[in-house]
Amino acid sequence: MPSTRKIITGILIFLAIIAISGSMFILDETEQAIVTQFGKPVGKPRVTPGVNFKMPFIQKVKIFDKRYLAWDGDPNQVPTKDKKFIFVDTYARWQITDPLQFFIRLRDQRSAMSRLDDIIDGETRNAVASHELLDLVRSTNRKPEVGEDFLEQLENLDSISVGRDRIEATILKKVNERTTDLGIRILDFRFRRVNYVDEVRNRVYDRMISERNRIAEQFKSEGQGEALKIRGNKERDLAEIQSSAVKEAQVIRGKADAQASAIYARAYNKSSQSRELYSFIRSMEALERSLDSNTNVVLTTNNELFKFLQKP
């Protein structure tokens, strides 16, 4: 009997421990939960961190995340209002604000993501189809800063009527209107990327390449014109320098000849001996230039040269 009593007591203690452990659950600061009984929610949501209690065995705990959750949309091909096909890639951040309503309507996070795909993608398509491409890529009408002359055409960009920021805010508002009964709230919505489809993008790239080639040819022609201008200026400057040098050389020669003539004149106008010496030197120079070893000269007695030869 005593041993049987001990066994029964041990069993009761074991069952009590199981019952107590089954009736307790701990919530983290990042978690919130609801208690279900036979698949149906019981009581209010449990949002306070720490130890919480439930009935063991027949009640279960469904835990949901309390933090901000990420939603990433798939890139979709969407036509704009001005009939331009683009790829739109979006993302959003959301939060479970009412875990009880969330459990009733969606059950789990996977179902919530699927529902958000339908809601957010649908509102994104409607917004893109209702606005022109320029409104989707620009937020303000500020004038771009132009640093090069060939970019002056950017100053005349068309004005936007709505803008990207307002379109994102509109999508966020409409999405929240459709998710109020789901126990969730969309905190933020953004366009991650907006791009042309491949066919249109290739045409845009070709047009950009041709435009840059045109600009390059313009620069090249301007450079060639400037090179020809520089060569012409060089040839002109060279001709001016050469003509100035020739003119200066002629002036120097003229001055030298004038100085030589002046010296000769002063020498001739001195004394008779000087004039005779000058006459003699000039006559000798004339003989040196006109006579050689094979030349015979016949002179009269009254010739000036004969006089110098007779009385050297």
Question: What is the per-residue pLDDT for 22?
Answer: 55
Using the structure block, give the residue that is written with the tokens 């620009």.
138
8 and 93 inside one domain: no
101 and 134 inside one domain: yes
* Proportion of the chain above pLDDT 70, given as a percent: 78
54 and 82 inside one domain: no
> At residue 231, does pLDDT exceed 80?
yes
Q: How many domains does the chain have?
A: 3
287 and 299 inside one domain: yes
Query: Looking at this protein, which amino acid is placed at residue 158?
Result: D
Question: What is the per-residue pLDDT for 307?
Answer: 66
159 inside domain? yes
Which domain CATH number covers 109?
A: 3.30.479.30
Cα 20–25–28 angle (5° rounding)?
A: 155
Among 53, 62, 64, 63, CA closest to 22:
53
**Cα distance between residue 99 and residue 4, in whole Å:** 48
8 and 26 inside one domain: yes
Q: What is the b/e burial string over 68-102, where b = at least 16 CB atoms within 10 angstroms of the residue's CB? A: ebebebeeeebebeeebebbbbbebebebbbbbbb
DSSP 92: E
- Average per-residue pLDDT in the chain? 81
pLDDT, tens only, 47-67: 888 888 777 778 888 889 999
Question: What is the per-residue pLDDT for 267?
Answer: 63
96 and 174 inside one domain: yes
127 inside domain? yes
Could you list the residue range(s) of the whole structural domain that residue 183 is in? 69-144+153-196
58 and 80 inside one domain: no
Of residues 303 and 159, more confidently modeled: 159
218 inside domain? no
* Segment 75-99 mean pLDDT: 90
119 and 29 inside one domain: no
pLDDT, tens only, 98-137: 999 999 999 889 999 999 999 999 999 999 999 988 888 8
Among 118, 114, 73, 63, CA closest to 93:
73
> At residue 96, does pLDDT exceed 60?
yes
Question: What is the per-residue pLDDT for 14?
Answer: 57
Question: What is the per-residue pLDDT for 149?
Answer: 55
280 and 177 inside one domain: no
32 inside domain? yes
* Segment 151-155 mean pLDDT: 52
* Segment 131-153 mean pLDDT: 71
80 and 190 inside one domain: yes
Report the 10 Å Cβ neighbour count for 308.
15
pLDDT, tens only, 237-281: 888 898 888 888 888 888 888 888 777 777 666 555 666 666 777
Burial class (CB within 10 angstroms; exposed 0-12, middle 13-18, buried 19+) of 39 = exposed
61 and 81 inside one domain: no
Q: Does residue 53 contact residue 24 with C-beta atoms inside 8 Å? A: yes
**Cα distance between residue 134 and residue 109, in whole Å:** 36
Of residues 3 and 246, more confidently modeled: 246
14 and 97 inside one domain: no
* Segment 166-175 mean pLDDT: 94
**Cα distance between residue 105 and residue 310, in whole Å:** 151
> At residue 154, does pLDDT exceed 60?
no
Q: Does residue 123 contact residue 175 with C-beta atoms inside 8 Å? A: yes
**Cα distance between residue 70 and residue 91, in whole Å:** 8
259 inside domain? no
12 inside domain? yes
